[in-house]
Amino acid sequence: MASIAFEPSQLGPITLRNRVIKAATFEGATPKGQVTDALVDYHVKVAAGGVGMSTVAYLAVSPEGRTARGCIVLGDDTVEGLSRLTDAIHAEGAKAAAQVGHAGPVANPKSNRLPSLAPSRHVGMTGSVAREVTEADIARITDDYRRGAELAVQAGFDAIEVHLGHNYLLSAFLSPKLNKRKDAWGGSLENRARFARQVVAAVRAGAGDGIAVTAKLNMADGVPGGLWLDESIPVAQMLEADGHLDALELTGGSSLSNPMYLFRGEAPLEEFGATLPRPLKAGFKLLGSRFMPSYPFEEAFFLPYARQFREALTLPLILLGGINRLETIERAVELGFPFVAMARALLREPDLVNKMQKGSSTESLCIHCNKCMPTIYSGTRCVLVDPAPPARAAHP
C-alpha cells in the first residue's frame, strides 16, 4: 500500500508531487549575490532526490535586508540567474519556492555596508547598532516585498514564502522584547502584527493568484520576553482571517540570541567559533554557550506547539523541526499537517525521499550533530559526507 507521504498534494493553486518540502536553509553558494552553478547543483540534488518542492533561501527584498553581502537581492539583475535555477528544479519534477524577507536586526551592517534596521534601536552582540525603522522605511520595504514577489514570479517560482521568523525584521516587530515602539506599529499585539500583515498582503498582490503564498512564522522566539504561543497563535489567526496565505510553516528561535532553539541537539561551538574574525573569537569562547545553548534533540520537536496551532486554525500548516523518519511524516499527515519541511536530513541524504518511496530506507542517516550549521560560510553541506569546503565557497 502506497504511503500517504507520497500522495500528490495541493498547496493553494499548485500541486506538489508529494508532501515533503525542502526547507529554506542558507546555501552559502552565492558569494557575489548571484546565482551560481553551486546553488543550482544544491537544489537539483534534492529535486532529483524526490522532494515535492525545494525552497531557495534567502532572497532579500532590499539591499540592507541581506543577512550579509553574500545574499541574493531580488532585482532585475538577478532574475535571469534565478530563472536558470527554477528551470533546473522543474526539470527534475519538483516545484520551486522562493523564501523572501528582510533580515532587519539580524543583518550584518559591516558586510552589507548599509545600516541595519529594527523596530526599535537595537545593539547587537558584536556592538553593531540597528537604527529604528521610520514610517518611510515601512512604506518602502512593503513595496520592496511587492516588487520582490513580482520578480519571483518572473523568475519562474511556483511559491513564495514570506519570512516572519527568527527575529528577522517582521518577526522583530512581532516580538514584545524587540519592539518598544509607542506608535501604531508597536504596543498591542494588533499593532505589532500590522507590518507583517501589510507585507503578506503586498506579496499576494505582487504574486497574483496563480502562485502559492506561504509564511514562515515563529511560534516562540525561545528568549525571555520574546514572542510566545499566547501571542503567536492569535497572529496566525489574524493572518488566516486576512485570506492571503495558502499555508503557514511553523518555526521558532532567534538568530539574534538563540539559534539552537530551531535546531536542537548539541551546539557546534568550536566549529562556529572557528568561522569568526579574530577579534570576536575570545568573546565567543567565553559567552558562546549562552548564545548557542544545547537542547536535547527529539524528532519532530515542534509538534507539541504545532498541534495547538492546528486546533486553532483551518489554514493548511507545514510541520518543521527535526523530521527524520517516514513514520513521522505519515503521523504528521494523520494529525492534520498536509506537508512537512525537512532540512538537515536532506543535507545528509539529498535522495532520502526517493529512498523512502522505493522502500530502501525509512529513516535518515542524519545524527543532528549540527556541524553543518557553520558551513553556511563555506558552502552549506553535511561534514560527514563532505568534510572539506568546496573551492567555490567564500565567506559572505
pLDDT of 151-204, one tens digit each?
999 999 999 999 999 999 999 999 999 999 999 999 999 999 999 999 999 999
Give 295's pLDDT tier (boundaries 50, 70, 90). confident
Question: Is the bond preceding 42 in cis, omega lying within 30 degrees of 0?
Answer: no
Burial class (CB in 10 A: 0-12, 13-18, 19+), 2: exposed
Domain count, the chain: 1
Strands 317-320 and 129-132, sheet pairing? unpaired
Is residue 396's pLDDT more than 80? no
Answer whether residue 155 is part of any domain.
Answer: yes
Query: Annotated catalytic, 305?
Result: no
Q: Is residue 268 part of a domain?
A: no
Which residue segment(s) compose the domain that 306 sits in?
Answer: 4-262+295-370
CA 309 to chain centre: 19
In a domain, 79, yes or no: yes
Query: pLDDT tens-digit profile of 229-273?
Result: 999 999 999 999 999 999 999 999 999 889 889 999 888 878 777
Cα-based angle 132, 138, 140 (whole degrees, multiple of 5):
120
Task: Give the Cα separation of 308 and 304 in Å (integer).
Answer: 7
Which of 168, 261, 305, 377 is the catalytic position? 168
Residue 392 placed within a domain: no
d(Cα 310, Cα 177) in Å, to the nearest integer? 26
Q: Is residue 267 part of a domain?
A: no
- In-domain check, residue 190: yes
- Percent of the chain scored above 70 by pLDDT? 94
**Contact in structure between 97 and 55 (CB atoms under 8 Å):** yes
CATH number of the domain within which 98 lies: 3.20.20.70
Q: Is residue 74 part of a domain?
A: yes
What pLDDT is attached to residue 279?
A: 66
Answer whether residue 205 is part of any domain. yes
Alpha carbons 47 and 1: distance in angstroms, whole number: 24
User: Rounded to an integer, what distance in angstroms lies between the CA atom of residue 314 and that of residue 64?
Assistant: 35
What is the pLDDT at residue 395?
35
Q: Which residues pair with 60 in a beta bridge?
A: 73, 101
